[in-house]
Amino acid sequence: MAARKRMALALLAQGNGLHPASWIAAGGPTDCSNDISYFADMARLAEKGLFDLFFVADTPAARTDNLDAWSRYTPYMNCFEPITLLTALAGVTSRIGLGGTASTSFYEPYNIARLYASLDHISHGRGAWNVVTSGNNYAARNFGEDKLPPHAKRYARAKEFVEVVKALWDTYDDDAIVYDRERGVYFDPAKFHVLDHQGEFFKMHSALNIARCPQGQPVIIQAGASNAGKELAAETAEVVFNSDDELADAKAYCDDVKGRTAKFGRTPADIRVLAGFTPTIGESKWEAEDKYRQLQELIHPLVGKVRVASDLEADVSDLDPDQPIPLDRIPQSANLHTRYFEQIVDMIKNQKLTLRQLWQRYERGNKRVLGTAADVADTMQEWFEAGACDGFMMIFPTLPGGLESFVARVVPELQRRGLYRTAYEGRTLREHLGLKRPASRYARETMKAAG
């Protein structure tokens, strides 16, 4: 009998948690965002919970306007640079995968190839790169532009960017470095490949100055929800984050992305889709709901408005919180985060909420569950068994508390149900996820030529 398929788990790690009021909620640490030992403890706890991946999101910018609001909502304003953080965490963990975001709009491929190859070596095969095109104009202004390039242009650059990075990761064949002291030869020049690339965005005569990675290549993550985003995911990603809050939508997304793989010579088995999942765990459903309600009430109106404004891509600062948003405020289309835009527009049009109700209910996608450990496990089981995902990106409203309860109470429940591992079986992130180690493009060519 075939072994039962197990779900994958990733942790979205961020300061006090992902809820906008998490940092003022009672009981959490106040100074954790710049405290490496705080993140080390969190990574070790996720590793104790046998998570596949510890993940750090990023945008390369602080907000520079509206500071009265942003001073009450901290994540973008004080955070570690992801690759630096993950590299430090590689030294205090041994199994959990380490993934982080870097934007194709603001890096050069050579930097990314080098940084993530180094992370993969330092972590002995646990590195992953989340490819984003970025979704705010603050970042553009740090790099000499007034605003982001149009969505289609950002994705065209991202596609070429990933191609180049992957080619650079194949510079050395696996067995290229021979350390032959007798002959005085360090590497075999026949197994060292110089990339000549001339595309729309990049011109390179280039080779990477680091040996091939333990994983062959670090794992590529992507989370685009637009058509261009899904195309890029189907062509290049190995892990895809989804942020639908309804099972049927999540399943449609999963089928859609996996269904697009064939035209790129890939198969659905080459991709793991992780659904964004936001649990609040209580002794009873009532207690979980009450915990969450208390957090929601802590959202300051300025923060509520700025969160709605960011994803709606429209100013709402002058609006009365206790009135609905006028429909003529809604832009024609999104240029930043397509899925978040669609979700918030859908809520405005179909749920007839006041602005205040909107910021209290809007969740940036993700499946929210308020209940006991068994309730949380039930929903995860339902989504997983329905084929809506291959696992979950856990987005805890408060950290480290949410993760502590989950590891103590939900992980054993999932294990009891045979849905989750009881020990790490592999060493690398690819092994945890059941993803194959990619052969170098040059090795593939040689094999093809040999028939």
Ligand X SMILES: Cc1cc2nc3c(=O)[nH]c(=O)nc-3n(C[C@H](O)[C@H](O)[C@H](O)COP(=O)(O)O)c2cc1C
**Residues near ligand X, by CB under 6 A:** 12, 57-59, 101, 130, 132-135, 223-226, 229, 241, 243, 276, 337-339, 393
Rounded-to-10 torsion of CA 259, 264, 265, 266: -50
Closest CA relative to residue 219, chosen from 6, 432, 444 = 432
**Angle subtended by helix axes 373-385 and 247-259, to nearest 10:** 40
Which tokens hold the place of 323? 């009135």
DSSP string over 177-210: EEEETTTTEEE-GGGB--EEEE-SS-EEEE--SS
97-103 vs 53-56, strand pairing mode = parallel
Positive or negative CA dihedral for 434, 339, 84, 140? positive
What would you report as the CA-atom Rg of the chain, rounded to the nearest whole angstrom? 22
Report the C-alpha gap between 451 and 447 in whole angstroms: 6
Task: Return left, alpha or beta for 269; rule: phi > 0 is left, psi -120 to 50 is alpha, else beta.
Answer: alpha
Report the C-alpha gap between 125 and 96 in whole angstroms: 10
